[in-house]
Amino acid sequence: MANCTLYMNVTNLAFTTESYWSIQKNISDLCPNHPYLKPDTATLTTEAARHLAGLSNDDFISIWQFWTYPTDLILVRFQAWKLPLIALVALFPRPPHSKTIGLLALFNLLGNPINTIASLILTLDCTRLLVQRFRRQNGMSYKRCLELVLLVSTLRYVGDEEDAADVEDTVWEDKSLDTNRPMAVNTERWTTQHESTAHALAADRTTSFLPVLVTLSTLLISIFFAYGKVVRAPWRPSEPWHVDIYSIAFSMTLLAWVPGVLFACTIGMPQSGASPCRILRNSGLHLPNLPQKKNEIPGIIINLPPSAVPSWRYDRWPWMKHPPETSWRRWLCHEVTALVLVTIGVTGALVQSYFVPPGGFLSCRLKAQLTICVTYIISYVFGILFDTWCHWDRRLHFWLVMSKDVVSLLIVATIVAITVAGSLNTPICWVSRDRDCMELPEGTKDVVYDRLRSFYPITMGLTFGLLLVASLAVAGFLYDGMAVYVQTDDDETPFQWLREATQALCSVVARKKKKKTRGRRRRNECELGSSLEMHGPMDITVEIDDYQ
């Protein structure tokens, strides 16, 4: 009877899954009818765990009461799951106009990735449409189309919409032979001046496509190597597999930043805020509306053209006065595509976390992941409101968007810091789905062991695979737009090696298919000949009909 008072007066006991499993086992062995145990299950009740840990009965308060992991364990998990992602985000190209504008672009990516991805897709889609329109005009070569579109895009980048429209109209109306227009005196001058200017603009633009691909590959490889290490590791009560799987799922939640970095690195940025104007001014082209002073290009916030920050196109909404895209259907496709790219990682993370015991939609990690997802959506909605109602005051608009993105980023960063430090190291995060008893890792290790080799790798593969396929599909659709920005100042077509490799692969597949078809035809002819020899003339018609 004395044993049934065991742990009754113990409270404020530091929580670890290993120590509380030992307490549960000691109580169940010594006193199976102990009031701290749930009947017929020999597991600690939720109230008992709260009393032992000294937690509040309020769920909102108790979720913030946790015990941090050991420092070395925090550093190992941060290095494996979070550091490669931070390295990838650091490669995000920022506008060179000022540090404030560069920070806005970065905060917009981290706090509102839906808006960033939609803006980048709009920028690439507009250039893609312009390339296709130019290609249909006068049989213009693909390389020259890219050069002219880069020239038009740069004029819009510096805020010279009038001259950009003038160049575009010149191509459309084939006015290069019209000597009455100051834009081009003759065909030779048109070709030489515009081509040299486009080459200079291409040389001035900095893209980081290859470094981003290498860093992204490193991120994926590190995650899968770390997962393989978890699979091969023996069971350690102090470091249960559950926490590592949760860490992987949380990294999948932050994959919403990856598409924005990929698309932004293909667009790139000029070497400085004044270099595009300097190149255009020295090109010899007649550009009367080009800004003449460095300060007019947008070190000043209120003079910033809408297209100067490709990742923040506040003018893209169809109900604005002069939207770059007037088609509601195309605009909706941009927004939905961005939303899908952001939610792929979040959805995969939620599914994976749901099936880690104790699981359920009320688990701590799912609450954290859902909070991040809801934060992204709320930030996106507020961005729409600010772009619509505050665009008349550029300075107010800028600082409202900046403040909103900073708050969103702080929420996400706080959740990341808490989860890395030890948000799962509290009894509340190991409560069963019916919320009445504890479900500690030691009791569910066999379930997790089986899923480590079946369900979890499938979920991870599908999430990463879907995100990669979706990003490649969008990139393939926007190929012409991407080629405008990644072109070099020589005569080589962007990604020419990739196009040649694709064509070579297609030709090999076509030859194999043709050879296979020819072999099948020969076999069919042989079978038909054998049938004629065996059955004679009366059965010829039947065999031919059957063959057909």
User: For residue 149, is it within any domain?
Assistant: yes
The answer, yes or no, to whether residue 290 has pLDDT greater than 90, is: no
pLDDT of 295: 39
The answer, yes or no, to whether residue 548 has pLDDT greater than 60, is: no
Closest CA to 112 of 478, 376, 455: 376
pLDDT band of 529, cuts 50, 70, 90: low
- Whole-number Cα distances in Å, 300 to 199, 269, 271, 390, 446: 28, 18, 18, 18, 61
Six token digits for residue 152: 């038009």
User: For residue 62, is it within any domain?
Assistant: no
> Is-contact 376 256, C-beta < 8 A?
yes
CA distance 63 to 377: 24
pLDDT band of 417, cuts 50, 70, 90: confident
Distance of CA 207 to the CA centre of its chain: 18
User: For residue 152, is it within any domain?
Assistant: yes
89-93, 415-419, 491-495: least confident range: 491-495
pLDDT of 186: 41
Q: Which residue has the tokens 């196109």?
A: 313
Both 49 and 80 in one domain: the answer is no
User: For residue 491, is it within any domain?
Assistant: no
**Which SS3 state, helix, strand or coil, does residue 206 take?**
strand
Q: What is the rounded average pLDDT for all residues in the chain?
A: 80
User: For residue 514, is it within any domain?
Assistant: yes
pLDDT of 421: 82
Both 90 and 40 in one domain: the answer is no
The H or E element containing residue 43 is strand 43-44
291-305, 345-359, 390-404, 460-474: least confident range: 291-305
Q: Which residue has the tokens 């290609």?
A: 135
pLDDT of 209: 78
Both 6 and 133 in one domain: the answer is no
Strand partners, 38: 43
**Which SS3 state, helix, strand or coil, does residue 63 take?**
coil
Q: How many CB atoms lie within 10 A of CB 62?
A: 18
pLDDT of 182: 43
The answer, yes or no, to whether residue 124 has pLDDT greater than 70, is: yes
pLDDT of 324: 67
pLDDT of 343: 93
Both 359 and 424 in one domain: the answer is yes
- Range 114-146 burial, b when 16+ CB lie within 10 A, else e: bbbbbbbbbbbbbbbebbeebbeeeeeeebbbb
Domain count, the chain: 3
User: For residue 252, is it within any domain?
Assistant: yes
pLDDT of 516: 66
**Which SS3 state, helix, strand or coil, does residue 62 take?**
helix
* Better-scored residue on pLDDT, 315 or 384: 384
Predicted confidence (pLDDT) per residue in 25-72, tens digit? 888 888 888 888 888 788 888 888 888 888 877 665 666 778 888 888
pLDDT of 538: 45
**How many angstroms separate the first and last alpha carbons of the chain?**
89
The answer, yes or no, to whether residue 210 has pLDDT greater than 60, is: yes
Residue 354, class by beta-carbon neighbours within 10 Å (0-12 exposed, 13-18 middle, 19+ buried)? Answer: middle
Q: pTM for the whole thing?
A: 0.82
pLDDT of 539: 45
* Better-scored residue on pLDDT, 310 or 57: 310
Both 191 and 278 in one domain: the answer is yes
Both 13 and 76 in one domain: the answer is no
* Better-scored residue on pLDDT, 356 or 80: 356
Both 357 and 420 in one domain: the answer is yes
User: For residue 493, is it within any domain?
Assistant: no
68-82, 247-261, 494-508, 509-523: least confident range: 494-508
pLDDT of 339: 95
Q: Choose the final residue of a domain: 456, 486, 516.
A: 486
* Better-scored residue on pLDDT, 392 or 22: 22
User: Which among 151-165, 456-470, 478-492 has the top mean pLDDT?
Assistant: 456-470
49-58, 197-206, 536-545: least confident range: 536-545
pLDDT band of 246, cuts 50, 70, 90: confident
User: For residue 498, is it within any domain?
Assistant: no
The answer, yes or no, to whether residue 540 has pLDDT greater than 80, is: no
Q: Choose the final residue of a domain: 433, 453, 486.
A: 486
Predicted confidence (pLDDT) per residue in 352-362, tens digit? 989 988 877 66
pLDDT of 109: 94
Both 252 and 355 in one domain: the answer is yes
Which residues constitute the domain of residue 194?
A: 72-307+328-486
Both 353 and 452 in one domain: the answer is yes
Both 90 and 166 in one domain: the answer is yes
pLDDT of 535: 52
50-64, 214-228, 356-370, 434-448: least confident range: 50-64
Strand partners, 438: 431
Both 255 and 380 in one domain: the answer is yes
Both 82 and 35 in one domain: the answer is no
